Chain A
């Protein structure tokens, strides 16, 4: 059964009123990277996942989970 890293980045980002570009600037990546992580196209490293979670005020486990 394939596993997928799901996330609630878009939902949380919208709650905080942030654009992809603003979130990208906060974590020091391009908007493209935020976009691909948000859409599940790209699996981020642990470092980026922690940075994203911190920028969105959540724990990594609250932001990401494995979908089977």
Chain B
């Protein structure tokens, strides 16, 4: 099988597995819409920084192996796995998330305070992306070799990781004041 397909299938598989495990863990928890929204909102606040750490550690692996001689297939698989994770995280950042939940629960989770926190996180993500782009641009002026793929990786990593961390911080603060 083509290495691109393996990476793509692996990335999608991990996402589906995580969603299924999360759903299975809540199978015996009868909750009202409000209780469920509260539960999921708290869980999201805990998950966001952890997702940022996983995402960043994936970038460390990528950059530590990108120029080393090794299997081209493994490299392609890594690229696809990274791309799938990036797209899923971007969708989670820009939509209500919790795609397998009922509409009422999803609407309640995405209430006014959550939207404000998410918008703030996206603003931070955009600013850090731009800062990373400027840094990469400046770096090339000093004769450093940065490929297009490396540059895209750096800019996306800065933006997504910053947005995840910022949103997580704001959500945790909102819950902590309770």
Which A residues form the contact surface with B (CB < 8 A)?
20-21, 24-25, 28-33, 35-37, 39, 41-42, 44-45, 48
Contacts and interface: CB of A to CB of B under 8 A. Distances in A.
The SS class assigned to the B binding surface is helix
Interface in B100-115: 108-109, 111-114
Given A21-B34, A25-B34, A41-B173, A33 B178 contact: no
Q: How large is the interface on B (under 10, 10 to 19, 20 to 34, 35 or more residues)?
A: 10 to 19
Nearest to A42: B113
B37 A30 contact: yes
16 contacts: A21-B34, A21-B38, A30-B34, A30-B41, A30-B108, A30-B113, A31-B34, A31-B178, A32-B113, A35-B178, A36-B113, A36-B177, A41-B173, A42-B112, A42-B116, A42-B174
Interface of B: 34, 37-38, 41, 108-109, 111-114, 116, 171, 173-175, 177-178
A20 B38 CA distance: 12
